[in-house]
Homo-oligomer: A and B are copies of this chain.
Amino acid sequence: MSSARPLTTTSYGILGLLAVRPYSTYELTREMSRSLGRLWPRTVSKLYEEPKKLVAHGLAHSREDTVGKRPRTMYSITPRGRSALRAWLEEPGDGPTLEFEGLVKLLFAEHGTREAALASIARARDWAVEQNQGNIAAGEAFLTKDGRFDSRAPETLLVGAFLTDYYALVARWADWAADQVESWPVDPAERRVDQSEQRAVLRRARWK
């Protein structure tokens, strides 16, 4: 059993989905764009690999199924899988990790053009708008279905609230940042920091 590769957060993420209901691999890819992938993004091919690892560990069980004439593999959680999930949930999870290439480019914006900086900012805003679409759609679906009958609604609310405020933050920041950069002189050497904004940011940082 323990000869298989160790389980990662990705493994447990998928195990968590299987704890809700059985999934085919393709259905897992849907969840990646809709729910889990927003907090723990992974490429599609991982989703074909990880469930096999769960099976090797005895935490999931695979069954060959067909849709029409096409074969597919359905995965479901085993009792051992449920207790492994329970054990994993007992350990507090890591805080968020941010990777933001656009912001890296802004950090070095003095070596590029003002227009390039604005383009990175615009792209970040577009990203936030796009992510927020799906977010709104999911929220509306929950409300019309009447959340009282969806047993997973309390968890979804915790996640949805974070993502909602996160996307809004990115968009609002982008609007502000675009204003700032538009006020920059074209020549980097002539740029001066907006000191009142600098103080405003520092005030916002003192929330403790």
Contact = CB atoms under 8 A, between A and B. Distances in A.
A73 to B, nearest CB: 22
Contact of A103 (B139, B162, B169, B193): B162
B157 A180 contact: yes
Interface residues of A, number: 105
A207 B56 CA distance: 46
Interface stretch (A21-29, A44-52, A63-71, A109-117): A109-117
Query: How would you classify the secondary structure of chain A's contact residues: helix, strand, loop or mixed?
Result: helix
Contacts of A7: none
A55 interface: no
A86 B206 CA distance: 36
B170 A204 contact: no
A102 B106 contact: no
B139 A198 contact: yes
A17 B154 CA distance: 44
Interface string A191-208: 111110111011011111
Given A119-B92, A161-B173, A202-B140, A100 B103 contact: no
Nearest to A100: B96
